[in-house]
Amino acid sequence: MTVWRIYAVDDDPLTTRSLETLLGQEGDLETVAFTNVGEFRAAVEARRPDAVIAEVSLLGDNGIDLVEAMAADDPDLVSLVVTSASDPDTTALALSRVGPLRLVHKPFKPHDLLPRLRAGLERRALARSLAAARGALEQQHQALRATRAQVERTAAELQVTSSELATATERLVEAEHFAAVARVLNGIAHEITSQLALVGYAEAIRSRVAGDAELVDLCDIIVSAHKRLCAMVDQVRDFVTEPHRAGFPREPADVAAVVDEALGILRYDRDVRSRNLVKHYRGRPLASLHREKFAQVVINLVSNAVLATRPGDTVEIELDAAAGGMVLTVSDRGVGMSPEVLARLGQPFFTTRGDRGSGLGVGICMQIVEEHGGSLTYTSEEGVGTQARVRLPLLEGSP
């Protein structure tokens, strides 16, 4: 049971005593009466009441002003003002200030005072219940927001986990596919090596045609191509068995000279001869190179540019020294590549040439350049063309 605390203040002790007697008959009302306004205010400061009953004409104070000041701090406070039934002026003032529902007359009558007091206390109880319900609802909202935030975090974590799982699954499938193809490529590489041994007879032919400079030149090209193809087969073996193996012998080399050697090998290629190769050498930078492997990169980049263009088109080979390194750029104005294709360059067995491509060329070139301490990057736009850029560190003292 809720016990309501009632404060009453009146200068007349008989009035306060009669009020205490009347309200004391109610089991849930705890009444404290005051005949001194100062004591009343001190009690209010110590403990706030649920209801206050104040005489309008207090000594040195106004009961209406007193209860309204308390109501400003406690909007749900039950407040009643008291006047004498024989005092029409004070009654009229109270009616104009607080209205008939908050006005009681003395001497007190139970049927006049108690209904007004009970109605106010019921409103106070409802206000408390409403405040408690609002507080509980706010707590539920906060808990719901916290739960929703946790659900969102969990969903995000699940999304990341799902993405990682999908990536791991894709890599596993790719690794299994790579391993299967690697076994086949190893067998093919072995057969190609056996057949390439026949090309070695070009050395013997060269000695027999020593008097014919043109034939000697052609034999030299065949011997050079034989060496390059053998090295390429070895590179394919390395790629499918140890794709990240690093380290091979290098020596100081004139990059422009190595590029010229690679272009010299390509000059007998029918597709290359039908294009216009334009060279722009801005200096002759020196770098630490494996000449055959770097020539393989140049041949691959130029061949790709040729195949992306039409006969008569121009393919540009630019060589320049940049800050701390050199840049070799092979540019074409061919068909170009979409962002999706560009993103997959270098992936094993990905090719845009159909049956004409192995899908290993770009990946092998990237590996070779990386083993030289550099990088191979591409920029491309469909219908505009493609640029392949090789960046390598320079030797100290390089011009």
Please, are residues 317 and 255 in contact by the beta-carbon 8 Å criterion?
A: no
- 34-74 per-position pLDDT tens digit: 999 999 999 999 999 999 999 998 887 899 999 999 999 99
Please, are residues 266 and 296 in contact by the beta-carbon 8 Å criterion?
A: no
pLDDT band at 244 (very low <50, low <70, confident <90, very high): very low
Task: Find which of 145-154, 234-243, 352-361 is predicted with most confidence, using mean pLDDT.
Answer: 145-154
Q: Which of 108, 127, 155 is the last residue of a domain?
A: 108
pLDDT at 212: 79
How confident is the prediction for the chain on average, in pLDDT?
84
More confident residue, 120 or 225: 120
pLDDT of 395 strictly over 90: no
Q: Which of 7, 99, 105, 101 is nearest to 53 (CA)?
A: 7
- 170-210 per-position pLDDT tens digit: 777 766 666 666 666 666 666 676 666 666 667 778 777 77
User: What is the C-alpha separation between 229 and 192, in angstroms, rounded?
Assistant: 9
Q: Which of 52, 77, 108 is the last residue of a domain?
A: 108
Half-sphere exposure of 352 (CA within 13 A, CB side): 16
What's 364's domain CATH number? 3.30.565.10
- 206-227 per-position pLDDT tens digit: 777 777 787 777 777 777 776 6
pLDDT at 348: 62
User: What is the C-alpha separation between 386 and 389, in angstroms, rounded?
Assistant: 10
User: What is the C-alpha separation between 239 and 241, in angstroms, rounded?
Assistant: 6
Q: Is residue 172 part of a domain?
A: no
Residue type, 90: T
Q: Is residue 125 part of a domain?
A: no
What's 79's domain CATH number? 3.40.50.2300
Q: Is residue 286 part of a domain?
A: yes
pLDDT at 235: 60
pLDDT of 82 strictly over 90: yes
Q: Is residue 363 part of a domain?
A: yes
Mean pLDDT, rounded, for 238-265: 77
pLDDT of 356 strictly over 70: no
pLDDT at 39: 93
Q: Is residue 117 part of a domain?
A: no
> Which residue range(s) make up the domain with 274?
246-393
Q: Which of 58, 81, 108 is the last residue of a domain?
A: 108
DSSP string, 293-322: HHHHHHHHHHHHHHHTS-TT-EEEEEEEEE
Domains of the chain: total: 2
Give backbone dihedrals phi and psi of 107, rounded to 5 degrees, phi first.
-65, 145
User: What is the C-alpha separation between 375 and 369, in angstroms, rounded?
Assistant: 6
Q: Is residue 251 part of a domain?
A: yes
pLDDT at 35: 93
Q: Is residue 235 part of a domain?
A: no
pLDDT at 32: 94
Please, are residues 36 and 13 in contact by the beta-carbon 8 Å criterion?
A: no
Q: Is residue 223 part of a domain?
A: no
Mean pLDDT, rounded, for 155-164: 89
DSSP string, 52-97: EEEESEETTEEHHHHHHHHHHH-TT-EEEEEEETT-HHHHHHHHHH
- 276-299 per-position pLDDT tens digit: 999 999 888 899 999 989 998 999
* End-to-end Cα separation, the chain, in angstroms: 100
Query: Which residues make beta-bridge pairs with 38?
Result: none
